[in-house]
Amino acid sequence: MAVLANLVQVFASTVLPVFLVAAASYLLSRKTHLDGRTLGRVIFFLASPSLVFRSLYTLEISTAVLQQELTIALAIFAITALAGWLAATGQRPQRRAALTLTSSISNNGNMGLPITLFALGEGALGLATVYYAISALLTNTFGVFFASSGSAPPTKALQQSLRAPVLYAAVIGLLLNRFAVPVPDSLFRAVDLMADAAIPCMLVLLGIQLSVTPINRDQFVVWRSIAIRLVLAPLTALLLCLLLGIGGLERQVFILQASMPTAVVTTVLATEFGAAPRLVAAAVLGSTLASMATISLVLTLLL
């Protein structure tokens, strides 16, 4: 009973607030048809890069921890991508590309950042933002490759992916941090204001995009992707942390970030490159709803 009570408490204090904001946005979008594309562009070009820059610029992290985080994120991405590709054996090329995409790309922005903040505090948010920056890099390179592999040559798509502003925000923030280069107060305050808007906007966008997500019987194959994303990924993170001797707050952040459901951005990639977008949307919806239980369980075990 004590374990169950703790699980409920963790869910109510850390996971539920995130879903309440997304649910409010979902209902409002159903009622008033909110423009998710415009909000998505604000997040993509302004809010998200500002958040990544601020977090990396102000982050106090050793080179060793940064290398560990890069290793963990890359390994989990590679393992889940391979698992998704194998799980899609026998599917059409577009559907195989879709399941590879949804298995490997996790929602470290919309959900990973606020849940980390609520569960582990401000000190963990910097680590989570680094993980998010790495995830964004992988999404805008290998994610594009996976999405386009089912129907078109990926060369042009990869060129387009290098235009993602969050990548450059991460590089600039990290370089200025490492070389202790001061940023003018007026500029930093502007970035700070926009960064504060990132997480609420991400949750609103999550609700908007889920409100237009279809699902039908033909999409039940997504359970394979959901299992990879919500079960295999956190177990892989735990194993890697044990092998590399990673403990403390770093282990908690890495495992929690690996536990996130399929990222909403996969629907954008799937639509752009014809990688079975309805199947991808079903994976996003299914994994997001299922993660309410799985993330609560992970947090109960971590805390």
Mean pLDDT of all residues belonging to the chain: 85
Per domain, the residue ranges of the chain are 2-302
Distance CA 31, CA 23 (A): 12
What angle do the packed helices 122-138 and 112-120 form, to 10 degrees?
160
Q: Which of 290, 143, 301 is nearest to 230 (CA)?
A: 290
Work out whether the CA dihedral 113, 121, 77, 45 comes out positive or negative: positive
Distance CA 74, CA 131 (A): 10
Residue 210 — very low, low, confident or very high, per pLDDT cuts 50/70/90?
A: confident
pLDDT in tens, 33-74: 887 778 878 887 888 889 889 888 887 877 888 889 999 999
Give the fold, CATH level 3, of 2-302: Na+/H+ antiporter like fold (1.20.1530)
Whether the predicted pLDDT of 160 surpasses 70: no
**262 φ/ψ sector (left φ>0, alpha ψ -120 to 50, else beta):** beta
Instruction: Of 40-49, 139-148, 195-204, give the lowest mean pLDDT range.
Output: 139-148
Distance CA 213, CA 173 (A): 35
pLDDT for residue 219: 67
pLDDT for residue 298: 93
Q: Which of 213, 184, 191, 221 is nearest to 289 (CA)?
A: 213
pLDDT in tens, 240-276: 999 999 999 999 999 999 999 998 778 777 776 777 8
pLDDT in tens, 83-102: 999 998 888 888 888 899 99
Whether the predicted pLDDT of 209 surpasses 80: no
Do residues 257 and 108 lie in contact, with contact meaning Cβ atoms separated by under 8 Å? yes
> Between the CA of residue 99 and those of 91, 105, 145, 213, 280, what are the distances in Å?
9, 10, 13, 16, 7
The full length of the chain comes to 303
> Whole-model pTM?
0.83
